[in-house]
Amino acid sequence: MNIQNIPRKDKVVKQAFYPKLDVLVLPDYSQIEYRLYAWYMAVQIGDERAAETFREGKDLHEEQARRIHETMGWEFETPLTDAQRQYGKTLNFAALYGGGIPTIVRQLGCDRDTARAIYDAFHEDNPLIGRWTWERGRQREPDPDTLNGQIVQTIRERETGSEPGYITTLWGRHLHPEEHRKALNALIQGGAADLMKQGMVNIHEWLASEPELRSHTVLSVHDEVGLDCPEEEVEYVCDSLLPLMSDPRLEEILPIEIDIKTTRESWAEAV
């Protein structure tokens, strides 16, 4: 069984997983892809706004949604409603995953003219991401001084007659995006996967270095690790996880956070 195929919210399958000892401890990265995105914007382009949002403990999607409402001249509530926050989440999602106007139409349920106005406002507010226009038969090249533009430029510089170009994650892995518009997403998702693997190795080595501990890792799925722990070790294990799952290069710019769920019953009951 490939548990990577278990949907995040699937309660039925997760009911089959129980702790063999006492407690399942399940640390999960908090918005890790957006934190990596903020890291690249700050380090590679010098745009600190997203990183600053995380440093201040604010909600990245809410901050973007507020700026879009202000730019569009729309009224909004304080705090934002879930529907208003969704604008920020949709636009951040579209930037990170190579979407555009069709994504905005689909996610927000608006017409194409409104979606285009929102899309334009987002890129006016975030000019250093790099602008792609997704319309049938037309595509705008990203500016080489933007994040998207620099990534695409790197790929092209590494192309040879026989080999496609590639980008390199923060952990040194080479990635070959199928399309240039997916390059940023590949870099971010590839980096998140590398961080997860590094965290799993660190946890394994830490547990091996403390042979008196009976806790052990039992699974990983998506960006979540599962450890089986005896009751008396739960607090110590939980307190030790964050530095093991983080990376000092990221922490220099913004905080990495993990959410830790526990359950004494099945995985489905983790809270």
Q: What is the pLDDT of residue 196?
A: 94
* Among 58, 198, 47, residue whose Cα is nearest residue 125: 47
Task: Indicate the range of 33-37, 120-124, 179-183 predicted with least confidence.
Answer: 179-183
Considering the chain, tell me which residue range(s) the CATH 3.30.70.370 domain(s) occupy: 3-32+191-269
- Whole-number Cα distances in Å, 180 to 39, 71, 173: 20, 29, 18
Q: Look up the pTM and report it.
A: 0.90
The answer to whether 34 and 92 have CB atoms below 8 angstroms apart is: yes
As a whole-number percent, the residues of the chain with pLDDT over 70 amount to: 95
pLDDT (tens digit, 9 = 90+) per residue, 129-165? 887 654 444 556 778 889 999 999 999 999 998 889 9
CATH architecture of 3-32+191-269: 2-Layer Sandwich (3.30)
Average pLDDT, the chain: 90
pLDDT tens column, 10-67: 788 888 889 999 999 999 999 999 999 999 999 999 999 999 999 999 999 999 999 9
Cis peptide before 19 (omega within 30 of 0): no
What separation in angstroms does the CA of 168 have from each of 102, 153, 184, 194, 212?
Answer: 29, 13, 11, 11, 39
Tokens describing residue 252: 């220099």
Q: Which residue has the higher pLDDT, 194 or 97?
A: 194
Give me the pLDDT at residue 68, please: 94
Residue 152, C-beta contacts closer than 8 angstroms, at least 6 positions apart:
141, 142, 180, 183
Residue 251 confidence (pLDDT) above 70: yes
